[in-house]
Amino acid sequence: MNKRTLGNSRFEVSALGFGCMGLSSGYGPATEHQAALAVIRAAVEQGVTFFDTAEIYGPLTNERLVGEALAPFRSRVKIATKFGFKVGPNGERLDGLDSRPTHIKEVADASLKRLKTDVIDLFYQHRVDPDVPIEDVAGAVKELIAAGKVKHFGLSEAGAKTIRRAHAVQPVTALQSEYSLFWREPESEIMPLLEELGIGFVPFSPLGKGFLTGKIDANTKFDATDFRNVVPRFTPEARKANQAVVDLLTTLASRLKATPAQVALAWLLAQKPWIVPIPGTTKLHRLTENNGGASLVLTPSDLSDINTASDQMTLQGARYPAHLLKLVGR
């Protein structure tokens, strides 16, 4: 797989990374342990060198899984993890955020142990904490970098002013936020800022939480523990209304002898050379399919067709329920 560099950082990774969250939480029951190990290791064998996790995934269990899976390949891969949510002593998820510098350092030490490594390649603030100045957060990560425990600093779902303030204290290597043909809002303000500052962009949910694969329709039933049950954009009515974007991808995929997912990923990769999407999956055949998107080249005509059609669509439903929308763009 081709490599890409996130911004001006010289942080080089595979053109597609792998989002590990869904192996442990978010989209239904956790994947059986050996099967989850197999998917992560298959990603390495297919050329993926960038793996994304967080202490809150599980909580804690996803980092342990990633650490075990990647231990034999540690010198070949980059691992990103995150701090900022509250987790109880027994791994239970608690309400609220915590980006106090002392807590950031505690999380770093605990994550290093779970990941079976001596350095975190990319350490993101998972959500902006309004109770802690971002300068203090950036300063804490700067100290972790000086101590050799972290290599690069990242932000997730941060707003433009916060990104600029953080970057002034400790250069931000990457912003992770949602971006796809299902959610193009970052194009208006965030992406120009990232280009100005030389910050890479790591889109999560690059396949619209599965919707852009063409395998979900208005009649799809999700597991009771699936996060999409509370997402307004995934109500049956919204799914029916938003089918046009899938139809667009399906038509082009048929012409290119590809799949809708591959076209969606290729479109993202074509937007900027410093974009590295992190699709996730629990299935080996979907992993192979997604990675095929990295080698699909869309012509200027293809991209124009997609953008023209997409610009005419107004997709229905918010991407998060109200209580989670409060945590983004701050």
Domain boundaries, the chain: 3-325
At residue 309 the predicted structure's pLDDT band, cuts being 50, 70 and 90, is very high
Closest to 121 in 3D by CA, of 58, 66, 45: 66
Condensed to tens digits (0 to 9), the pLDDT of residues 266-298 reads 999 999 999 999 999 999 999 999 999 999 999
Query: Strand 3-5 vs strand 12-14: parallel, antiparallel, or unpaired?
Result: antiparallel
Q: Map tokens 């899976």 to a residue.
A: 69
Rounded to whole angstroms, the Cα distance separating 18 from 133 reads 31
Average per-residue pLDDT for the chain: 97
Rounded to whole angstroms, the Cα distance separating 16 from 240 reads 29
Closest to 109 in 3D by CA, of 147, 53, 57, 71: 147
At residue 195's C-alpha, the angle toward residues 266 and 7, to 5°, is: 75
Contact 116, 68 (CB under 8 A): yes
Query: What pLDDT score does 90 carry?
Result: 84
Rounded to whole angstroms, the Cα distance separating 29 from 60 reads 15
**Is 57 one of the catalytic residues?**
yes
Residue 134 predicted with pLDDT over 90: yes
CA 164 → CA 299, 312, 330, distances in Å? 34, 32, 12
Rounded to whole angstroms, the Cα distance separating 239 from 220 reads 9
Domain at 3-325, CATH class: alpha beta
| First vs last C-alpha separation in the chain | 35
Query: What pLDDT score does 103 carry?
Result: 98
Condensed to tens digits (0 to 9), the pLDDT of residues 111-120 reads 999 999 999 9
Condensed to tens digits (0 to 9), the pLDDT of residues 226-238 reads 999 999 999 999 9
Query: What pLDDT score does 89 carry?
Result: 83
Q: Which two tokens stand for residue 77?
A: 């891969």
The residue annotated as part of the active site, out of 57, 124, 179, 320, is: 57
Rounded to whole angstroms, the Cα distance separating 110 from 88 reads 13
Residue 175 predicted with pLDDT over 90: yes
